[in-house]
Amino acid sequence: MNKYRTLIQNLAAEAGITINGSAPYDIQVSNEQFYERVLAQGTLGLGESYMDGWWECAQLEEFFYRLLRYQADQKLSLSWRESLALIQAKVFNRQSYRKAIEVAQTHYNLSNALFQTMLDKRMNYSCGYWKEAETLDQAQEAKLDLICRKLALSPQDRILDIGCGWGSFLKFACERYQCRGVGITISEEQAAFARANCTGMPIEIIQGDYRELNREAHGEFEKVVSIGMFEHVGPKNYRTFMEVVDEVLIDEGWFLLHTIGDNLSRLRCDPWLDRYIFPNGVAPSVRQMGEAIEGLFVMEDWHNFGVDYTRTLLSWRDNFKQNYQPLPLQTSISQDRFARMWEYYLASFASAFKVRRLQLWQIVLSKGYPASTYRSIR
């Protein structure tokens, strides 16, 4: 067992982390099997061993920041299972129509009450805009208004929200800009909440897959938006997604895509994240986005404010730690293990944005030959 401990200690030391050290970002290991497990399973073993209580860390987000900054996670060899999974991702469509429901079943259908303990009052589950904000509520309202202004939203507009979540954007847009809207989400729990949330407003909520959208059934839209959903589309479907938007968007219409972006073109996300948080999820790269929109849209604006996601995620983490109580969740994971899993997810994600491993993009695209020139808004 000593050889495994030595290897992990040396790897951690490269990132400025001391196993069982005194710094708040040093991890405290209580199970000697931890070392072999991490060497055998990589980041999956690291995450699962934390869920199992094999190690603790007072400043989890700082631990991840150091781990990611010095790329210590990339120095762990892939297990044969993960190598096979990468091959399968190249061959199969992991975000096919049949498999798309898996992320709703694993994540978004967990419990609306769970997300209410964590999110802002409007229930936004995407990056806030902290340019002039001091609180999470302010940052999320600033993000919603930024999107509306970028789209020049008006009472004459009918807008489609692909991946509408709990209806926060559509409700805000209709309240502030008097537009009409249609939202679609694959999650049953989100759709039910969104319908109740938007009662009495000119908003229709559809439970379904984005590939079901078409002009004949749903009409055409002056504006289309997708906020924090594109990460579930998958590289094999990026072009299909853009073709769906092209199908329902009027000529000279505008589409705003708000998505996490990766610095590299990947076929799947981190193994632990894939298994426990976002099954089949993967963030697009600049190259993948370019290939998806080529010949369909004009790229009008590309805004990166990924650093704001760190503050958003840590705000969610703080809310979760302060407010979380055991809830009847749609998962087989025990309450204690779930709480550790959720904190691990929020802290590790926050650090990935802080170290600039991940980005947050708002991309504005126009269709056809717009009569007016688009002016970037910040």
* pLDDT grade for 142, boundaries at 50, 70 and 90: very high
Residue 59 lies in a domain: yes
What's the pLDDT at 104? 73
Q: Tokens standing for 170?
A: 């559509």
What angle (nearest 5°) sits at the alpha carbon of residue 339, between those of residues 114 and 361? 65
Both 46 and 131 in one domain: the answer is no
Both 65 and 113 in one domain: the answer is no
Q: Which amino acid is at 263?
A: N
Both 68 and 194 in one domain: the answer is no
Both 205 and 71 in one domain: the answer is no
Helix 33-41 vs helix 43-51: crossing angle, to nearest 10? 140
What's the pLDDT at 333? 86
The per-residue pLDDT for range 226-270, each reduced to its tens digit, is 999 999 999 999 999 999 999 999 999 999 999 999 999 998 889
* pLDDT grade for 95, boundaries at 50, 70 and 90: low
The CATH number given to whatever domain includes residue 180 is 3.40.50.150
pLDDT for residue 97 is more than 90: no
What's the pLDDT at 88? 47
pLDDT for residue 113 is more than 60: yes
Residue 94 lies in a domain: no
What's the pLDDT at 65? 96
**How far is the CA of 358 from the CAs of 61, 76, 141, 292, in angstroms?**
15, 20, 23, 20
Looking at per-residue pLDDT, the higher value among 231 and 92 belongs to 231
Average pLDDT over every residue of 129-144: 98
Alpha-carbon 20 to chain mean position? 32
The beta-carbon contacts of 337-344 under 8 Å, at least 24 apart in sequence, are: 337/51, 337/52, 340/50, 340/51, 340/53, 341/47, 341/51, 341/276, 341/277, 343/60, 343/317, 344/47, 344/50, 344/51, 344/60
Both 36 and 111 in one domain: the answer is no
Both 200 and 248 in one domain: the answer is yes
Residue 83 lies in a domain: no
What angle (nearest 5°) sits at the alpha carbon of residue 113, between those of residues 199 and 108? 85
Both 346 and 252 in one domain: the answer is yes
Residue 8 lies in a domain: yes
Residue 309 lies in a domain: yes
Sign of CA dihedral 232, 234, 238, 243: negative
What's the pLDDT at 322? 95
A 10 A CB-CB count for 326 gives 10
Residue 19 lies in a domain: yes
Q: How many domains does the chain have?
A: 2
Pairing of strands 221-227, 297-304: unpaired
Sign of CA dihedral 36, 334, 270, 309: negative
Both 294 and 147 in one domain: the answer is yes
Pairing of strands 180-185, 203-207: parallel
Q: Among 86-95, 177-186, 214-223, 286-295, which is the least confidently predicted range?
A: 86-95
Pairing of strands 28-29, 55-56: antiparallel
pTM for the model stands at: 0.92
Walk across the sheet containing 158-162 and list its strands: 203-207, 180-185, 158-162, 221-227, 249-262, 358-367, 297-304
Domain holding 243, by residue range, is 101-367
What's the pLDDT at 109? 85
Q: What is the rounded average pLDDT for all residues in the chain? A: 92
The per-residue pLDDT for range 47-84, each reduced to its tens digit, is 999 999 999 999 999 999 999 999 877 766 544 454 44
Both 327 and 207 in one domain: the answer is yes
Answer yes or no: are the C-beta atoms of 148 and 177 closer than 8 Å. Answer: yes
Answer yes or no: are the C-beta atoms of 281 and 274 closer than 8 Å. Answer: yes
Both 256 and 200 in one domain: the answer is yes
* pLDDT grade for 85, boundaries at 50, 70 and 90: very low
Pairing of strands 297-304, 358-367: antiparallel
pLDDT for residue 23 is more than 60: yes
pLDDT for residue 89 is more than 50: no
| Residues linked to residue 253 through DSSP beta bridges, in sequence order | none
What's the pLDDT at 106? 80
Residue 92 lies in a domain: no
Both 63 and 141 in one domain: the answer is no
Both 34 and 140 in one domain: the answer is no
* pLDDT grade for 96, boundaries at 50, 70 and 90: low
The per-residue pLDDT for range 312-354, each reduced to its tens digit, is 999 999 999 999 988 788 777 889 999 999 999 999 999 999 9
Q: Which amino acid is at 315?
A: S
Residue 237 lies in a domain: yes
